[in-house]
Homo-oligomer: A and B are copies of this chain.
Amino acid sequence: MTPEQHTISVFGAAGYAGALAARLLYRHPNFDLRWVTARSDVGRRLDDVYPQHRVPMVLEEADIDRHGDVDAAVVAYPHGASAPFVAELRERGVKVVDLSADFRLRDLATYEEWYKPHPRPELIGEAVYGLPELYRDQIAGAELVANPGCYPTATILALAPLARAGLIADVVIDAKSGVSGAGRSATEATHFVTVDENVNAYGVPRHRHTPEIEQELAALGSDVLITFTPHLLPLDQGELVSCYVALNDPDLPTDEIHALYRDAYDSERFVELVQSPAGVRAVRETNICRISVHRDERTGRAIVFGAIDNLWKGTASQGVQNLNLMFGVPEEAGIGA
């Protein structure tokens, strides 16, 4: 423990995302992980529940007085349950990275259309959308960061250079995710026998990540209605988005498209531009988004693949990346390849 460490708690550490955040922060040079809390598994050690993470701490029932006496918090609560708890933490001056959807949508009406009445709408304006490759400066100054959803992370990174250039006329996003994206709850949908040797879509046709993607594409310059359809695959971690983009300028030379991506990402440590179609195995257990851009000359479409680890760049390691920015420590600290 060195003096410059910031104290931090992870709330909701019994779930996949919270547990991974705890693992990363437990070994982080600039943070001192003080508490891990949970609703289930209270009293169990985290390294009993998740032996692979090797965090020898006991899960406690959340107590805002005890566990909120820290510099920072990661909140891994369900949508709707998160906002009131975040509000309490903010009242105590704790900097928060919220892994839920509660503060991702800047427009209250949109949130309430896709989710339910917002428990703390007054905090929405304070939150910064935590995609560092787009909002690095704002995150650095933020006290409340809304960590993006996993699908939006991959999709927005895959499409940002086109969106910023105003090139997206229309886009179909076919997303594929490993089962950890469905969370730790044991259900028929996550039973091994259901998933094994199978693939099918879910959340058709209104998955809640849709407005989050549209919000960010619009903010970048492409205000479009998207078609977004996720599928469940027989793998544990990993998420691929296949984006089929009709361009406003169908005759745009492919070289110029590639140049847009290089300009956007050549200096980004956690984005890799590759030529072959991006696959998820290459980013497993990393904070990296791997992107490949192709052109269908026959239809004029751009086809962009974005691959991430849904639990890492899609959730927990991106949360740590945000914390790093919020506290002015090296952006790659604790999550470097």
Task: Give the B-binding residues of A (Cβ under 8 A).
Answer: 16, 51-52, 54, 172, 174, 176, 178-180, 184, 186-188, 190-202, 204-206, 210, 225-227, 229, 231, 233-238, 240, 242, 244, 274, 276-286, 290, 294-299, 301, 303, 305, 307, 337
Contacts and interface: CB of A to CB of B under 8 A. Distances in A.
B197 A280 contact: yes
Contacts of A192: 179, 190-192, 194-196, 234, 236
B236 A284 contact: no
Which among A196, A200, A278, A301 has the highest number of chain B CB atoms within 10 Å?
A200
A320 B233 CA distance: 30
B280 A199 contact: yes
A231 B194 CA distance: 20
Given A54-B337, A231-B240, 19 more contacts: A51-B274, A51-B290, A176-B176, A186-B186, A186-B190, A192-B196, A196-B235, A196-B236, A197-B197, A197-B236, A197-B280, A197-B281, A198-B281, A199-B238, A199-B280, A205-B298, A225-B299, A229-B242, A229-B303
Contacts of A178: 197
B16 A205 contact: no
Contact of A200 (B201, B205, B295, B307): B307
B242 A231 contact: yes
A204 B277 contact: yes
Contact of A16 (B193, B197, B295): B193
Given A172-B172, A227-B303, A235-B198, A205 B284 contact: no
A16 to B, nearest CB: 7
A305 B205 contact: no
Contact of A280 (B180, B191, B200, B307): B200
A150 to B, nearest CB: 14
Contacts of A200: 240, 276-281, 305, 307
A13 B266 CA distance: 28
Nearest to A177: B199
